Structure 1
Amino acid sequence: MSGQLEEAKVAPAARTRRRVLTIGLGVAAAAALVAAGIVAVARATRDGTPPASTAHVVTAAVVRTDLATTTQVTGALGFAGAVTVVGAGTGSAFTWLPSPHTVIRRGRRLYEVDGRAVPLFFGRRPAWRTLALGVVPGRDIAQLEANLVRLGYADRSVVTIDRHFTWQTAAAVRRWQTAAGVTATGAVAPGDIAYAPGPVRVGHVAARLGTAPQPGQPILTATTTVRQVRAPLPVTLGYLVHRGDPVTVTLPDGTTTARGVITSVGRVATPGQSGDAGGGGGGQGAPGATPATVTLLVRLRDARAGRSVDAAPVTIDITSARARHVLAVPVSALVALAGGGYAVEVVDARGRRLVPVRTGLFADTRVQVDGAGLAPGTRVEVPAS
């Protein structure tokens, strides 16, 4: 806005300059300040001509813009989803296990038993039976075929991704087994592959090197690689948010922001805590009381945002009100009229005059206004500092 300011002519010293109304977040806040005697009531003569002033003033242009007000909630940056990898086969010992924070992608080794790598394939169905020629059709076959195609061991024009294990499917399995350096049987046993919905980021490794794997044994826990913010949202703010709404997330450094989208708004509230340390029913009005909350989940649009940290507190800016393509002036340009309401002091070739305005949304340092003759570029008086 500073680039739009210019010096305005000032009347002789005998003129008395009005004091400027300062308004924070809305008309209600301004009214409270006036009632408290904090805001000086501005003046206007009967014919609407502003009295003289000795204050050093400048002008600012009326602009057409979008305004928005935000509500902030505090959350924690982390990763979405939770995956537990459970053993499905047997062997003598785990011979390799991943380190925490390692990212495992499709076809890569997830862990190793008896020197044989168990790769990660993508899918939501766990391996539970041996897949080979003659097996009963099922969705787990389609899941296997989709991975063989994506990894290049099968041609989509040859292998149909369906529920049937065919000779073409067996041939693709043998190609994969040969590339992996294991016996090419054309059959896949439950312990040969581990499934997860997508790439995983290893969290806690429960298994230990040298110990024998057992069916159903938790081997490791992981998350997806999608950055996510989880925040407790007071239920009183629930009306502001909906799945799919865009939000802005301020990252741990306190200055960098990232775009996000709300993916989930919880439907089960967690009770707040009473401010009464003794649990004697102080209620939400008691000192230190916290409101009931629901869980808010936000996905960051840029997977690289915040990648320097694994987990950290962040702030979510939720739009609570918005006005598009409206006229706006600096809040400090408002003049409180003696008879109620507000005006702005227009400065143009005809001189200086008060123009009554209707105020709308207050956002940061600007306020939405509507008044006779106001247009983008109209100059209005504001304090110099």
Structure 2
Amino acid sequence: MTTAATAVAVAATGGWFAWRRPGGATPAAAGVPTTTAKVTKIDLSNSTLVSGALGYRGDYTIVPRGEGGTLTALPDPGKVINRNEPVYEVDNKPVRLFYADRPAFRPFAAGMTAGPDVRALEENLKALGYLSTADATFSSATTTAIKRWQRATGQTINGRIDPGEVIFQPGPIRINTVTGKVGSDLHPGEPLLTATSTTAVVTITVPAGQTYLVHAGDTVTVTLPDQRKVTGKVLYLSPVADQAQQDNGRDGQVTVPGIVTLDDPQVGSNLDRAPVQVAITAATVTGVLAVPVTALVALAGGGYGVYKRNGAQRTLLGVTTGLFSDTMVEVRGDGLQEGDDVEVPSS
């Protein structure tokens, strides 16, 4: 809720009405049950609560290459596959995962021209400990590194890698769907698997009327289904709104989708598609004086005040309000300090 909106709500429903000017002692109001609360020095945050769902960043389609064969092994949905691990097998030969931002499109062998695909291959061989340096040129050191890799993984040692012997993806993958079947023929060029990254994210749904409260970079607190709270940031908010369709065919609420990244991207890795609540923090202040929102009273001349209590003495002090949270409000005013008692409704 914004500061202005909260102030209006307090004046209309939740606060006190003091149609007088601040500064003097006033008698206790008759017939209004009251108690007191302390003026505290705290950190306050202004948050917007939206719904979301856990998922994974990125969508990848694995399209096999090569000359075909028989599918002899396939991964199960949900399996995580890392560099150099088999993704699937053709004729009992594992097809292994290498990391790269683009797919391999030609055989790797001595005499090939330089290119970014060569650099990607060499960076993988280096990461696996088979090559000391990586560049974009296929050299004799590259051939030697391939042979070392082939020996270590039980392959035919020939110093070349043909299409279909490895697949390149941007990083570790988590298998989503499997369209092939063990024992069937492999059809190069046809999708075999779909996968995502292993980085958990939250897809949020923001009501269109609240998008002005949400910005890329805002910090968030995500409440998981087991009530754990984890932190993250708003990565992206779509410029395009969606309108849900209700079961009766009528148009539903207009919302805007967005993505939240988690500070610990593995924290929700076993909770795919689980619903979550996301509190998006738009503003934060630290070490400010604050009172319960219900301590505010509307002043006759405009603005707000609080009743400071000192035993039986009751003094109305004008205050300037700052950031509002769900239950507390930042206040500044002469004669008010940490530890003072202010009057609030008792219920």
Matched, 1:26 2:6: yes
Matched, 1:181 2:157: no
TM-score normalised by the chain length of structure 1: 0.80
Distance in 2 of aligned mates of 1:381 and 1:237: 33
Distance in 2 of aligned mates of 1:310 and 1:45: 57
Say which of 252, 264, 267 aligns to 2:236: 264
Give SS of 1:143's match: helix
Paired residues for 1:102-117 under 5 Å: 102-117=79-94
Paired residues for 1:160-309 under 5 Å: 161-253=134-226, 255-270=227-242, 272=243, 289-291=252-254, 293-309=255-271
Matched, 1:64 2:44: no
Q: CA deviation at 1:324?
A: 4.3
Does 1 or 2 have the higher relative contact order (CA < 8 Å, sep 6+)? 2
Distance in 1 of aligned mates of 2:214 and 2:6: 21
The answer to whether the 8 Å contact 2:215/2:237 transfers is yes
Letter aligned with residue 333 of structure 2: G
Q: CA deviation at 1:43?
A: 6.9
Match of residue 141 from structure 1: 118
Q: Relative to 1, partners in 2 of residues 1:259 and 1:90: Cα closer, same or farther, differing over 3 Å?
A: same
The answer to whether the 8 Å contact 1:356/1:371 transfers is yes
Query: What is the identity percentage for the equivalent residue pairs of Structure 1 and Structure 2?
Result: 43
The answer to whether the 8 Å contact 2:64/2:190 transfers is yes
Match of residue 17 from structure 2: 41
Q: CA deviation at 1:102?
A: 0.5
Match of residue 51 from structure 1: 27
Letter aligned with residue 186 of structure 1: G
- Structure 2, gaps ≥5 residues long: none
Q: Which deviates further from its counterpart, 121-130 or 43-52?
A: 43-52
Q: CA RMSD in A?
A: 2.9
Q: Relative to 1, partners in 2 of residues 1:308 and 1:183: Cα closer, same or farther, differing over 3 Å?
A: closer
Q: Relative to 1, partners in 2 of residues 1:236 and 1:39: Cα closer, same or farther, differing over 3 Å?
A: closer
Q: Relative to 1, partners in 2 of residues 1:187 and 1:260: Cα closer, same or farther, differing over 3 Å?
A: same
Distance in 1 of aligned mates of 2:149 and 2:303: 78
Distance in 2 of aligned mates of 1:128 and 1:340: 72
Distance in 2 of aligned mates of 1:145 and 1:47: 77
Q: CA deviation at 1:48?
A: 2.4
The answer to whether the 8 Å contact 2:21/2:301 transfers is no
Q: Which deviates further from its counterpart, 304-313 or 224-233?
A: 304-313
Letter aligned with residue 367 of structure 1: V
TM-score normalised by the chain length of structure 2: 0.88
Q: CA deviation at 1:217?
A: 2.0
Matched, 1:314 2:294: no
Matched, 1:82 2:59: yes
Distance in 2 of aligned mates of 1:225 and 1:202: 9
Distance in 1 of aligned mates of 2:302 and 2:119: 73
The answer to whether the 8 Å contact 1:88/1:190 transfers is yes
Q: CA deviation at 1:96?
A: 0.9
Distance in 2 of aligned mates of 1:278 and 1:310: 29
Letter aligned with residue 95 of structure 2: V
Q: Which deviates further from its counterpart, 78-87 or 343-352?
A: 343-352
The answer to whether the 8 Å contact 1:252/1:306 transfers is no
Distance in 1 of aligned mates of 2:150 and 2:110: 16
The answer to whether the 8 Å contact 1:131/1:188 transfers is yes
Q: Relative to 1, partners in 2 of residues 1:39 and 1:234: Cα closer, same or farther, differing over 3 Å?
A: closer
The answer to whether the 8 Å contact 1:43/1:50 transfers is no
Q: CA deviation at 1:86?
A: 0.8
Letter aligned with residue 232 of structure 1: T
Q: Relative to 1, partners in 2 of residues 1:26 and 1:250: Cα closer, same or farther, differing over 3 Å?
A: same
Larger radius of gyration: 1
Match of residue 131 from structure 2: 154
Q: CA deviation at 1:137?
A: 1.1
Say which of 345, 364, 370 aligns to 2:332: 370
The answer to whether the 8 Å contact 1:44/1:51 transfers is no
Give SS of 2:50's match: strand
Distance in 2 of aligned mates of 1:145 and 1:73: 45
Match of residue 6 from structure 1: none
Letter aligned with residue 302 of structure 1: D
Distance in 2 of aligned mates of 1:251 and 1:24: 30
The answer to whether the 8 Å contact 2:22/2:317 transfers is no
Q: CA deviation at 1:46?
A: 9.3
Give SS of 2:241's match: coil
